[in-house]
Amino acid sequence: MPDSVTRVKLDNGLTIYLKEIHTSPIISSWIWYRVGSRDELPGKTGISHWVEHMQFKGTHQFPSTVLDKAISREGGSWNAFTYLDWTAYYETLPAEKIDLALRLEADRMANSLFNSEEVESERTVIIAEREGSENEPIFRLGEKVQSESFSVHPYHYEIIGDKADLRSITRDDLYQHYRTYYHPGNAVLAIAGDFNSQEMLARATELFSNLSPGVQSPHPAMPEPPSAGEKAVMLRGPGETTFIQVAYHAPRASDPDFFAFMVLDSLLSGPSGLSIFGGGGISNKTSRLYRAMVEKELVVSVSGGLQPTIDPFLYDITLTARPDRSPQEVTQALYHEIELLQDKRVSEEDIARAIKQARALFAYGSENITNQALWMGYAEMFATYKWFTQYVGNLATVTPADIQHIAQKYLQPGNRLVGIYLPGEEG
């Protein structure tokens, strides 16, 4: 995709990306902060997600009682997301109304109130959110697999946080976290849509340039040591279905191996969607695991996931077992398919199909104005915008030898953790 964007860095450290798209009278504005669960310490897990919630509780200029109505009244949409490495906020509005979004984000970058009553109200909301997720076997299994996969790195923690921490975090903890990470030097503003770049840059500069640059934000993540060998965890809980999740330590997004890994994922389990909003609806029925495990009635479903992150994270394969199949039957069939990738190079035809599917899903997840604005900031959170513009080209260079190399290097027994959720009594 052509890199037809304007990039400017203000004196206070704020990076601004602008991309003119004149296909419809819409503008999407995103503000990205380099803070997520990766930046949390024991006792404060979930604090980044909680601060995101508090950003919707208002400033003196934009009280919480008027925020949502103001965006809706102008025909817009807005939301926010917290992940491992970042927190993001966006507004998509009719072009002539975008100034509301810019004024809002400039204000709450510095002036969010963190009212004590709102903090306690949100504590109840987030704990309820956490407890609701705990009713889902996939959440419980995924959290256990993630926590057991990391012994040192804070990717160990679930983004929503530990319930004990959610009960003990104070208003001052939240406000200090906000002041530490929410400032221009730790942020990227990305805007795409129907505007003039010079005029938009002038307005963004006017609103954001007077904000204090802040001090350099700490990022305390420690490198995860190499895996000491294969691990396994087993959970029991409510339900009638057995789930299996097999996780392998995978490369970070800026590692050259990442692109070949994406093609391997497309070939093995179907392409992973990288956009926050998903999209594309591409079937995984041509994938090797679907043909070998769903069609042969070992599992009801299979999916894989590889996400772009700052530090090495996980490639996970999640399987829903059929009632008459044991976890051992399912995992052995999975390992057999992986061994085939390790022992025999795939054909050029299979590679071409896997690349085509991965490329198509990527295109679906980056085609509209909101996603175009998203990607300018998103890619900066784990690499650079060039990562996005060169993504399709990097996929096209992947060869059968590359796929075999990735399978042999990463999909080894000593690099995996096997998680099994069995229906039955808690344990």
CA–CA distance, 163 with 398 (Å, rounded to integer): 43
* Backbone conformation region of residue 138, classed left if phi is above 0, alpha if psi is from -120 to 50, else beta: alpha
Strand, helix or coil for residue 150: coil
Residue corresponding to tokens 């772009």: 308
**β-strands 15-20, 187-193 pairing:** parallel
Q: Could you tell me where the DSSP H helices lie in 115-273?
A: 116-134, 137-149, 163-168, 171-181, 197-208, 257-269
Selection from 235, 411, 262 nearest residue 340 by Cα: 411
Instruction: State how far the alpha carbon of 75 is from the alpha carbons of 26, 103, 120, 274, 354, in Å.
Output: 10, 17, 31, 27, 39
Amino acid letter, 313: F
Return the pLDDT at 107: 97
Instruction: State how far the alpha carbon of 53 is from the alpha carbons of 36, 80, 174, in Å.
Output: 13, 8, 11
Q: Give the orientation angle of helix 400-410 with respect to helix 348-364, to 10 degrees.
A: 80
Under 8 Å between Cβ of 300 and 328: no
Return the pLDDT at 394: 96
Fold of the domain built from segment(s) 6-208: Cytochrome Bc1 Complex; Chain A, domain 1 (3.30.830)
Residue 380 phi/psi, 5° resolution? -70, -20
Return the pLDDT at 4: 83
Q: Give the orientation angle of helix 137-149 with respect to helix 116-134, to 10 degrees.
A: 100
- Dump pLDDT digits (tens) for 144-203: 999 999 999 999 999 999 999 999 999 999 999 999 999 999 999 999 999 999 999 999
Return the pLDDT at 363: 84
Return the pLDDT at 280: 56
Q: Give the orientation angle of helix 98-110 with respect to helix 64-73, to 10 degrees.
A: 160
Selection from 50, 39, 31 nearest residue 110 by Cα: 31
Tokens of residue 404, six digits: 């075999």
Q: What is the pTM of this model?
A: 0.95
Alpha carbon 304 to chain centroid, angstroms: 14
For the chain, give every domain's residue range: 6-208, 231-423
216: Cβ–Cβ under 8 A, 6 or more apart, which residues?
185
- Dump pLDDT digits (tens) for 76-125: 999 999 999 999 999 999 999 999 999 999 999 999 999 999 999 999 99
CATH of domain 231-423: 3.30.830.10
Amino acid letter, 308: P
Residue 45 phi/psi, 5° resolution? -70, 140
Q: Give the orientation angle of helix 98-110 with respect to helix 197-208, to 10 degrees.
A: 30
Which residue ranges of the chain lie beneath pLDDT 50? 1-2
- Using the 8-state DSSP alphabet, how is residue 137 labeled? H
Q: Which helix (H) or strand (E) holds 244?
A: strand 243-249
CA–CA distance, 331 with 244 (Å, rounded to integer): 8
* Backbone conformation region of residue 46, classed left if phi is above 0, alpha if psi is from -120 to 50, else beta: left
CA–CA distance, 363 with 182 (Å, rounded to integer): 31
Strand, helix or coil for residue 384: coil
Q: From the CB of residue 38, how many other CB atoms can be counted at a distance below 10 Å?
A: 23
Return the pLDDT at 40: 97
Selection from 151, 157, 219 nearest residue 185 by Cα: 219
Instruction: State how far the alpha carbon of 142 is from the alpha carbons of 129, 237, 264, in Å.
Output: 16, 14, 22
Return the pLDDT at 163: 96
Selection from 417, 49, 2 nearest residue 234 by Cα: 417
